[in-house]
Structure 1
Amino acid sequence: MRILVVCGAGASSTFVAQRVQRAAHDRGLRYSASAGTVRSLPNDLFETDIVLVGPHLGSELEWIRQDAATRGVRVVLLPEDVFTDLTGTRTLALVDEAMSARESADTV
């Protein structure tokens, strides 16, 4: 699974991506997580399964979802306290939840 964490400039998303990558690795999952920006998003979507959107980008969430939907990419708005998730486990749980919801919808 390819996870893209998006923020405005790419700095804070780098920390979240590193933490969720580590949490996935610790669980034995073959996930990759990378950081991106709103500007790089259109290109990054081609190699992404799920986009985690920084909480400060809530106002841009609708267009991000629309763009991602054209490529079958799931989008999750991260909670305000995402940067306090030092182990990445809560963020990884959001990924698992979103992908499980997608799989359930696909089988209905």
Structure 2
Amino acid sequence: MIAGKLEITIKINELPQPKTIENGWQQFELDCDGQIISVTVKPKVWKKLTDAASNYPQWVGAIAGKLGQQTDNGFVLEEPNIQVFERKPKAEATPTPGAA
């Protein structure tokens, strides 16, 4: 048997409602198909999400981390990292002349 590394990635496109805990860290929960994922991030990481929400009309955030302690209705996401991408609207396809 070989060792592997389990990482979880959660995609969001809305800003979660956090609660501030010690030293400005933000804690929020995400509902992923009935599993409640608890995430705690540093202020610098939280700023990535708030900047995306204010600067981009459409955006996608990818929150990646390790499977942590199990809770009553989900689990804690350990060592979360967030990447944010601007979501560009798809250009409407224009029909090509002569195409049938």
| Pairwise TM-score range, normalised by the shorter structure | under 0.3
Which of structures 1 and 2 has the larger relative contact order (alpha carbons within 8 angstroms, sep 6+)?
A: 1
Bigger fraction of residues in strand: 2
Bigger CA radius of gyration: 2
Bigger fraction of residues in helix: 1
